[in-house]
Amino acid sequence: MTGKPLWVHILTGIGLVILLVVVFLQSLHFITRHDKTLTIPAVTGKSYAEARQILESKGFDVELQDSIFNDTARPLSVLRQFPDAEAVVKVNRTVYLTINKAVAPIIEMPNLEGLSFRSAQIAMEQYRLKLEDTLYRADFAKNSVLEQQYNGDRIKAGTKIPEGSKITLVLGSGLGNENFSVPDLVGLTYNDAKVLLESNGLNVGTVIPAVDPNAYVGRQSPEHMTPDGRINRIRQGQSVDLWLQPDKPVKAEAEQQEQ
C-alpha cells in the first residue's frame, strides 16, 4: 500500500485513460491524414503509362477499370477517369481509368439490305459501324438499301470485319419518269443480260432456276414485245425476271429480222 487516498488512484486512472485516448486520436489523425486533400489531375487523352505515372507521383493509387474501342482516339489512351479531373479527394484515393483498346474488336457484318436508310443508320450505330458514302441506283424501292459495300465490294451479312469499319450503302432512287423499250435479253448469257439491264438503269429481278453466269436467257418478264407485236415499255428502276437454260435458245426468224 502506498498510503495514498483512494480518490488519488481513481483520478490517476482517469488521467491515464484520457491521455491514452488523446494519444490514440492524434495517432489516428496522423495515420489517416484526415486533413490532407489533393486535386486529381486531368489524364484523359494521355497514354495509360503516362497517366499512371502522373497519378502515382501525386500520391494516388491507379486501377484499370475497363477498356473499350474508340477509332478516333489513340490506342491505349485514357478515355475516362473516375473521379473526374479537378475533384478534391483525400490522399491515397484510387483513380479508376478506362482506356482505348489497341486493336479494334471483330464483329459480324449485319444485314442492312432491304432496310430503309434510317433503319440502316440505326443498325450501323448499334454495331459501331460508320457510314462512308451513299450511292443511288434507279429502283422502285426509294431510299431502301439495295446493297451494302465494304472497301468498294459488296459484303455479305455475317462477314467478319473490324468494329468502326466504313460502309457504303447503295440506295434506291425511285422510278424514272421516262418510258423506254424493254431490252431483248433472250439468247444472251446471264452476265451479258445483267450488264445490259444495269446500263439501262434496270434491275435483275427473280432468276430461275438460279444464277449461272454462263447460262442463257430463255425467257424474260416483261418480254421485249407484246403478244400483238408492239415493243413493251418500261421505266428506270423496274426489274426484269429471267429464266435461264444451259443451251442458247433458237429465236424465230421474225424475231431475228426485227432485231
d(CA 184, CA 158) in angstroms, rounded, equals: 37
pLDDT, greater one: 226 or 254:
226
pLDDT in tens, 184-232: 999 999 999 999 998 888 889 999 998 899 999 999 999 999 988 899 9
Rounded mean pLDDT of 234-254? 85
**1, pLDDT greater than 50:** no
Q: What is the mean pLDDT of the chain?
A: 86
Query: Is residue 202 within 8 Å of 238, Cβ to Cβ?
Result: yes
Range of the domain at 115: 106-172
pLDDT at 255: 52
Looking at this protein, which amino acid is placed at residue 203? N
pLDDT at 234 over 60: yes
> What is the value of pTM for the model shown?
0.55
pLDDT at 254: 45
Residues 60 and 44 in one domain: yes
Helix or strand (DSSP H, E) at 218: strand 216-221
Last residue within a domain, chosen from 172, 190, 222: 172
Q: How many structural domains compose the chain?
A: 3
| Residue 190 lies inside a defined structural domain of this protein | yes
Domain containing residue 122: CATH number: 3.30.10.20
